[in-house]
Structure 1
Amino acid sequence: MPLNLHLISDSTGETLNHVVRACVAQFEGAEVSQHIWTLIRSERQMAMVCEALVKTPGMVLFTIIQEPLRDMLMATCRAAGIPAIAVLDPVLSALSTALGRAAEHRPGRQHALDQSYYKRIEAMEFALACDDGQGLDKLNKAEVVLVGVSRTSKTPTCLYLANRGVFAANIPLVAGATPPPVLQELKKALIVGLTRDAGSLIDIRRNRLRALNEELETSYTERETVEKEVQAARRLFTQAGWPVIDVSRRSIEETSAEILALLGQRGEGVS
């Protein structure tokens, strides 16, 4: 039977989702049934959650700030013999000691409509405006420009970076076409070459064509042509002196983390 894992939050539950995804990934083949409870901020809401816990016991991870609601939850878990973990408590306790002050215990503060929030929105708009070689006249505002052949995860990586407040654009490399001259003129942006091994690139391109109901066997998926594309892209990256990331076996998150690390090395880390 799968483990019932209850994620209970007084905010969006994003923190819990990240923690659980990272932890469950360490248990290959484990069956986990997630029950997600978000924006739990009243005793009536918590009572409904507690009732569900008794019906489907398992394990509880929570980020609840208000003491009365925590007390209700913990009392139910103790009575039902359900293990419950306050995910943020160790970090809050350590920070409180280090800073010499108590936490303010206000739910959802990380999602406040502050300057960083509006920067993320602006960065997202920028990524969409400068996707796939568009908006070349806006590139002087870019912090990161990703360059690579088709299906090297340029767009999703840009969107992930935008969600971190990074202004990211991407430019495709097309066989037989010269990259836009603006790439040589950029002074501020970190330009990163993305590559992928020809085999996985062909598989991804075929899946894309299949989803579009298009012919699978074209120059777009022909091995010799794809290998030449990849080699030409690598030569360009080397000649230009751009850092290169092979995304063949990397998730979008891992690729983005490496790009953020490169930004950090330039003294432009994300705050």
Structure 2
Amino acid sequence: MDSYHLHLVSDATGETVLSMARACLVQFEGINTTQHNWWLVRSQGQAERVIAGIEDNPGIVLCTLVDGAVRSLLEEACRRMRVPFIPVLDPVMGALAGFFGAEVGATPGRQYVLDAEYFARIDAMQYTLAHDDGQLLDDLDDADIVVIGVSRTSKTPTCMYLANRGYKCANYPLVPGVPLPTQLESLRWPLVVGLTKDPKSLSDIRRSRLRFLNHDEDAEYAQFEKVREEVASARKLFSRHGWPVVDVSRRSIEEASASIMQLHAQHAAKRDGVTA
């Protein structure tokens, strides 16, 4: 397997350049990269340390630096070392500047300003943590999204991802023999969405969970026929209430969340009397 050094340089948390690198690297098979993360690079002194690191381990440089002086210093050093230097935001920023007819600002970390949107995300995270796994059912109408599903259908991680995007979420686990709470029957404001999963895959996941907990993996909780009955019963419940369903069998948390966000936009438009 070929191995390369990859330097990711950011003047903020590195989230943007890291996500972009991951999205691109998965398209290459047989390639191994040693990743060097350089975050909060905002001064020429910090840039010099990055340059020293690149000299020790030469490799391609991806950056999201907006300060001209810091960026120029790094770019010139890369040119001298003959390593590729790629400012990943430039094509998008250039296109936006041309379209808007406006100049690009140069404020490092500007996307992380403590504005109203930031505090809304914090509020969403706090709400979601407090309403995990069927807790605090009496104020569900304050939620944006309520996720329902049988055990091990990724309800909690999906809700946490959505909360990080600013959605107040609650989730409720469906348990065989336990009736649906009346609070869920009468919801009008939030989007209620059901999560489902292939019974075979779900059975395997539950067996692994029981094995991890040193419990009997042949327990009814993980038996394929019982799991299939649970999934079928849940689907009937979703259908009876007209709740949309997202199948997470072959979807990542991000993909499932993207589908839910689309459903929420449609739900909100319909609820508010707006044509989506």
Query: In which range does the TM-score fall when normalised by the shorter chain?
Result: over 0.9
Q: How far 1:267 sits from its partner (Å)?
A: 4.3
Q: How far 1:28 sits from its partner (Å)?
A: 2.9
Partner of 1:241: 242
Q: Any unmatched runs of 5+ in structure 2?
A: 270-276
1:115-126 aligned at under 5 Å gives the runs 115-126=116-127
Cα deviation per residue 1:230-249 (whole Å; 9 max; x = unaligned)? 11001111111111111011
Cα deviation per residue 1:123-156 (whole Å; 9 max; x = unaligned)? 0111111111111012010111111000000000
Distance 2:216 2:112 in 1: 45
- Residue 222 of structure 2 aligns to a residue whose secondary structure is coil
Distance 1:43 1:211 in 2: 49
Distance 1:117 1:196 in 2: 33
Cα deviation per residue 1:217-242 (whole Å; 9 max; x = unaligned)? 11111111111101100111111111
Distance 1:135 1:231 in 2: 27
Residue pair 1:92, 1:103 contacting (<8 A) in 2 also: yes
Amino acid at match of 2:122: I
1:51-130 aligned at under 5 Å gives the runs 51-130=52-131
Distance 1:129 1:244 in 2: 24
Partner of 1:265: 266
- Residue 221 of structure 2 aligns to a residue whose secondary structure is coil
Partner of 1:15: 16
Q: Any unmatched runs of 5+ in structure 1?
A: none
Q: How far 1:39 sits from its partner (Å)?
A: 0.3
Distance 1:52 1:104 in 2: 28
Q: How many residues align?
A: 269
Amino acid at match of 1:8: V
Deviates more, 1:196-205 or 1:148-157: 196-205
Query: Taking structure 1 as reference, are residues 214 and 29 closer, same or farther at Cα in structure 2, changes over 3 Å only?
Result: farther
Query: Taking structure 1 as reference, are residues 169 and 15 closer, same or farther at Cα in structure 2, changes over 3 Å only?
Result: same
Note if 1:152 corresponds to 2:140. Answer: no
Partner of 2:221: 220
Partner of 2:203: 202
Residue pair 1:144, 1:169 contacting (<8 A) in 2 also: yes
Residue pair 1:130, 1:138 contacting (<8 A) in 2 also: no
Cα deviation per residue 1:80-101 (whole Å; 9 max; x = unaligned)? 1101110111111111112221
Q: How far 1:43 sits from its partner (Å)?
A: 1.1
Partner of 1:43: 44
Cα deviation per residue 1:195-215 (whole Å; 9 max; x = unaligned)? 001111111112222222222
CA RMSD of the aligned region, Å? 1.3
Amino acid at match of 1:106: T
Distance 1:21 1:188 in 2: 37
- Residue 171 of structure 2 aligns to a residue whose secondary structure is strand
Percent identity between the two aligned chains:
50
Distance 2:29 2:188 in 1: 45
Cα deviation per residue 1:161-201 (whole Å; 9 max; x = unaligned)? 00000011111110111111111211111111100011111
Partner of 2:251: 250
Cα deviation per residue 1:21-72 (whole Å; 9 max; x = unaligned)? 1111111342111110000111111111101111211101001111111111
Distance 1:192 1:149 in 2: 12
Residue pair 1:61, 1:86 contacting (<8 A) in 2 also: yes
User: What is the TM-score when the length of structure 2 is the normalising length?
Assistant: 0.94
